[in-house]
Amino acid sequence: MSHRFRVLGDDDGRRADKIIRALYPDLPLGALMRAFRKGLIRVDGKRAAFSDRLAEGQEVFLPFEEPATKAVPVAVKGDLDFIYSDDNLLVVDKPWGLLTQPAVKGDDSVSSRLLGIMTRGPGLFRPTPVHRLDRNTSGALLVALKGPALRELHRAWRDEAVVKIYWAIVVGRAPQHGEIDDPLLKEEGNRVVVSPRGQEALTRFRRLDGDGEFSLVEIELVTGRPHQARVHLAARGLPLLGDVKYGRQSVNDIWRSQGIERPQLHARSLSFGAMNVPLAYLSGKTVKSPLPQDMEGFLRRRAWKNYLQGV
């Protein structure tokens, strides 16, 4: 009872234990560590340590039966617009109303459509979103196309080397700028509330344009909690226009007949700080998503001109 495999390019540079656990997600960690300690796991015929970094093409011997075949995600036909793409990653201009990843098998989503657009053979790396946007949030969504790129993007996300900027239309006149650090707690029913028992969250914002009724604000999500921008701004008396869950229903009702059918939140840009190999070439680069039709139409109706500088 054993299994051999060769390290693929997408796993080049990964730790041995990480690669094996991806193959055997149900294998107890204790059993895996025992196999390493007893020298039962070998790479190119030599005893391996769990922390060894493996290279593409190396042969790994495991004292376990062949892993179960993973279920293949369902591809869905549908178009996607790309703001940026190269061999390592792409940035999708996600339309509102589309999931980032399927909630159940067969759901229409960015991930499912990518499988339909970009052919990948069995066992090869599948396009993987690095973060999520809510179904009704539009804008820039970062997708990794290779394993090393995904690992570096996850590292950059943790180290805040990627700056995520959103634009939102809120009800009320926003201050020129502000910072909100209310902790957020996710309750049953997918609702998020401000609570001292919640997770640390930090949102920065500044007003780009507006009048006495509404404001266009630029938002930096320093942390990435669910519904963070919507809940934080609502807690400051600045709910997003069109937000049924956290917004002002009387205002939403008025604007629904004029095409505002979702929270007016758009992932405007992604800016890359200091990046490492294989994505060092992205350092200092910013990718922007154009405003969707509903938001641009609202701003034009309000005759706000300043926003045109950034569109």
Residue 17, φ and ψ in degrees, nearest 5: -65, -35
C-alpha to C-alpha distance for 191 and 299, rounded to whole angstroms: 29
Q: What's the token pair of residue 159?
A: 């180290």
C-alpha to C-alpha distance for 86 and 198, rounded to whole angstroms: 38
Q: Which of 10, 52, 134, 294 is catalytic?
A: 134
What is the SS3 string spanning the chain? CCEEEECCHHHCCCEHHHHHHHHCCCCCHHHHHHHHHCCCCEECCEECCCCCECCCCCEEEECCCCCCCCCCCCCCCCCCCEEEECCCEEEEEECCCCECCCCCCCCCEHHHHHHHHCCCCCCCCCCEECCCCCCCCEEEEEEECCHHHHHHHHHHHHCCCEEEEEEEEEECCCCCEEEECCCEEEECCCEEEECCCCECCCEEEEEEEECCCEEEEEEEECCCCCCHHHHHHHHCCCCECCCCCCCCHHHHHHHHCCCCCCCCEEEEEEEECCCCCCCHHHCCCEEECCCCHHHHHHHHHCCCCHHHHHC
Catalytic, 11? Answer: no
Active site residues: 134
